[in-house]
Amino acid sequence: MKYLIAGLGNIGDEYANTRHNIGFNVLDALAGDVKFKQDRHAYVAEVKFKGRIFVLIKPTTYMNLSGKAVQYWMQAEKIPMENLLVVTDDIALPFGTIRIKGKGSDGGHNGLKSIQESIGSTEYARLRFGVGNEFAKGRQSDYVLGKWNDEESKLLPERIAKCCEAVKAFGTIGIGLTMTNYNGK
């Protein structure tokens, strides 16, 4: 059983440790000692867990074109839609809150919009990581592209570990129980 786990973010040192790159952070933690290699449209790593293979991708297409990488790797690895999970940031959720859904709108998120357009569906699972919305009107871009504050940085490792558990659960117990066990946690 193969799963495609797409962690959204932007490549480049200037984007490292920013709120928008939480998808990359979760995949780095999930990969552990497994190194990512640069491949077509993404950095790719493969992790095995309880008889499942998780193909982890960190798109190199930048956030707004994430769908190009997701579509390519779904086809290349022959991964069905129900085995796709996208990990992304969400300003509509308080910091550290996890919300997993089996389908839904892009919610104004350009990475999710790109995926929806590229794969022609909203019927894919996503794990949204709350980054909060502590920004002034019109400053959303600066906020999501900003670095974590000291308080967030302290709590981040535990929250990322919880996301890793949720990703593994998605592949082993399914979307329904994963939502029950992790949403709002």
Tens digits of per-residue pLDDT, 113-162?
Answer: 999 999 999 999 999 999 999 888 888 899 999 999 999 999 999 999 99
Show the domain range for 72: 2-182
What pLDDT is attached to residue 173?
97
Q: Is 41 a catalytic residue?
A: no
pTM greater than the 0.75 cutoff: yes
With a pLDDT cut of 70, the percent of the chain lying above it is: 100
Active-site residue, selected from the candidate residues 20, 68, 109, 159: 20
Q: Are the C-beta atoms of residues 71 and 19 closer than 8 Å to each other? A: no
Q: How many domains are there within the chain? A: 1
Could you write out the three-class secondary structure of 96-158?
Answer: CCEEEECCCCCCCCHHHHHHHHHHCCCCCEEEEEECCCCCCCCCHHHHHCCECCHHHHHHHHH
Q: Are the C-beta atoms of residues 130 and 160 closer than 8 Å to each other? A: no
Q: Domain of 23: which CATH number?
A: 3.40.50.1470
Q: What is the pLDDT of residues 55-66, one digit of tens each?
A: 999 999 999 999
